[in-house]
């Protein structure tokens, strides 16, 4: 198979390091759910899940059922929670031993109907403030009533999600959510239902809300740093996005660069063309100096508009030639930093990395 020179290197030893660091933040009895949705945040969900399974994670989570199917096809054995199942998928999920989240009344009706054929493991999501998926605490009485009435629904866990666990200014809001979650669990207990697992914290929640670890935590393992760029210095980014210089052009003052001459040289310049563009996840927002790449550890800003397959960068003051390595982000230059200049977050950058970018998994 031919490889693209534009590669996303995935360092599984950094992954193992991060897992160890996060595991040390929780008590030994607390379970660890690895969230490997969106191809493990744009990396390689199979390589990441296989490594984490070998390291001993207790549970996996994916967003959509089809992501779980990919993991099962590669032999992943541990339980897999589907965070966001869609209608008519219960049978398919059951066949693959994927466990659905029930997050709405319609979903509950559907699973009750299905449970008349066979028993189904389910996870109930409570909406404590994010207002995305889940039952409001005020709806739980009727949910509980239905669980009691339909014993072939096997409750595996009850969970919720914090709205801003990484943000010190949102501490009070998250605390209110934790209180609402505790109140919700009480409703289950008072009705005589034992909740086997409660879980609420994501990666930054593990560190910032120790009181909310409950029986399990959920984590994307800090694959590239936290969404807002406040990176816990103990964690290592596991991914490096690299390419090589395809061509160098010498420009005179007044010459344009790229489509619609998105940049015009204001002096004599050297410009390098790189084989990565918006088809690879470098969207238009990075155009016109909003992001820079690193060549021999020196910054080279993007000139003009991002093309489908290429970008052009300013190498006027960098000694370099065709074939030289170019870093978009790595352990020294974070994905958050790359994303922030364009007003976005690392998660958007990394999950957009296209399938054309070769994944290079380092053990
Ligand atoms: C994505 C996701 C997580 C993981 O979040 P990180 O901040 O990457 O650890 C946890 N829980 C839910 C419900 C999610 O959607």
* pLDDT reported for residue 230: 47
114 assigned to active site: no
For residue 226, pLDDT beyond 50: no
Query: How many angstroms separate the Cα of 139 from the Cα of each of 104, 110, 216?
Result: 10, 17, 24
For residue 222, pLDDT beyond 90: no
Fold of the CATH domain 239-362: Lyase, Ornithine Decarboxylase; Chain A, domain 1 (2.40.37)
Q: Which atom of ligand 1 sits closest to the CA of residue 202?
A: 9
Ligand 1 centroid distance, CA of 217 (Å): 10
Distance of alpha carbon 24 from alpha carbon 213, whole angstroms = 13
Outline which parts of the chain fall under CATH 3.20.20.10.
12-219
**Chain centroid, CA 51 distance in Å:** 17
Site residues for ligand 1, CB cut-off 6 Å: 35, 37, 83, 161, 202-204, 218-220
Q: Which atom of ligand 1 sits closest to the CA of residue 37?
A: 1
State pLDDT tens for residues 285-330: 999 999 999 999 999 999 999 999 999 999 999 999 999 999 999 9
What is the CA angle 108-109-114, rounded to 5? 95
Ligand 1 centroid distance, CA of 275 (Å): 32
> For atom 13 of ligand 1, which residue has the closest CA?
161
Rounded mean pLDDT, 186-196: 98
Domain spanning 12-219 has what CATH number?
3.20.20.10
pLDDT grade, residue 93 (50/70/90)? very high
State pLDDT tens for residues 319-363: 999 999 999 999 889 898 999 999 999 899 999 999 999 999 999
Ligand 1 centroid distance, CA of 257 (Å): 40
pLDDT grade, residue 224 (50/70/90)? low
Q: Residue 65: name the closest of 104, 26, 102, 93 by CA.
A: 93
Outline which parts of the chain fall under CATH 2.40.37.10.
239-362
Q: Residue 336: name the closest of 170, 163, 166, 174 by CA.
A: 166
Distance of alpha carbon 303 from alpha carbon 286, whole angstroms = 9
Ligand 1 centroid distance, CA of 213 (Å): 14
Distance of alpha carbon 322 from alpha carbon 71, whole angstroms = 39
* pLDDT reported for residue 277: 98
Enter the pTM of the model.
0.95
Ligand 1 centroid distance, CA of 212 (Å): 15
State pLDDT tens for residues 96-124: 999 999 999 999 999 999 999 999 999 99
231 assigned to active site: no
pLDDT grade, residue 234 (50/70/90)? confident
For residue 145, pLDDT beyond 90: yes
What radius of gyration do the chain's Cα atoms show? 23
Q: Residue 334: name the closest of 219, 236, 248, 246 by CA.
A: 236
**Residue among 22, 60, 202, 335 to mutate when testing ligand 1 (max atoms within 8 A of CB):** 202
19, 31, 37, 224: the active-site residue? 37
State pLDDT tens for residues 43-67: 999 999 999 999 999 999 999 999 9
State pLDDT tens for residues 275-284: 999 999 999 9
For residue 265, pLDDT beyond 80: yes
Q: Which atom of ligand 1 sits closest to the CA of residue 223?
A: 8
């Amino acid at each position: 198979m031919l490889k693209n020179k534009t590669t996303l290197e995935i360092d599984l030893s950094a992954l193992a390091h991060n897992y160890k660091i996060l595991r040390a933040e929780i008590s030994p009895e607390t379970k660890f759910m690895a969230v490997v949705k969106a191809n493990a945040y744009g990396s390689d969900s199979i390589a990441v899940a296989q490594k984490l399974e070998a390291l001993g994670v207790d549970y996996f989570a994916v967003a959509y059922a089809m992501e779980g199917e990919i993991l099962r096809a590669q032999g992943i054995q541990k339980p897999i929670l589907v965070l966001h199942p869609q209608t008519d998928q219960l049978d398919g999920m059951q066949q693959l031993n994927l466990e659905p989240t029930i997050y709405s009344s319609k979903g509950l009706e559907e699973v009750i109907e299905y449970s008349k054929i066979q028993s189904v493991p389910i996870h109930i999501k409570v909406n404590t403030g994010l207002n995305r998926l889940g039952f409001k605490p005020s709806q739980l009485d009727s949910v509980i009533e239905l669980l009691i009435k339909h014993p072939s629904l096997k409750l595996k866990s009850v969970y919720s999600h914090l709205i801003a666990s990484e943000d010190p200014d949102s501490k009070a809001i998250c605390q209110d959510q934790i209180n609402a979650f505790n109140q919700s669990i009480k409703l289950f207990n008072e009705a005589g239902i034992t909740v086997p697992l409660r879980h609420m914290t994501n990666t930054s929640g593990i560190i910032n809300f120790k009181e909310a670890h409950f029986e399990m935590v959920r984590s994307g393992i800090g694959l590239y740093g936290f969404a807002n760029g406040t990176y816990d210095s103990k964690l290592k980014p596991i991914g490096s996005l690299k390419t090589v210089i395809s061509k160098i052009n010498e420009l005179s003052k007044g010459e344009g660069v790229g489509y619609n001459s998105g940049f015009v040289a204001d002096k004599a310049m050297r410009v390098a063309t790189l084989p990565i563009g918006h088809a690879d996840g470098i969207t238009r927002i990075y155009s016109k100096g909003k992001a820079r790449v690193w060549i021999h550890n020196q910054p080279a800003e993007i000139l003009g508009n991002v093309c489908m397959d290429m970008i052009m960068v300013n190498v006027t003051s960098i000694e370099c030639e065709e074939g030289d390595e170019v870093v978009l982000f790595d352990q020294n230059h974070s994905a958050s930093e790359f994303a922030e200049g364009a007003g976005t977050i690392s998660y958007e950058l990394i999950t957009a990395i296209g399938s054309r970018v070769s994944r290079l998994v380092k053990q």
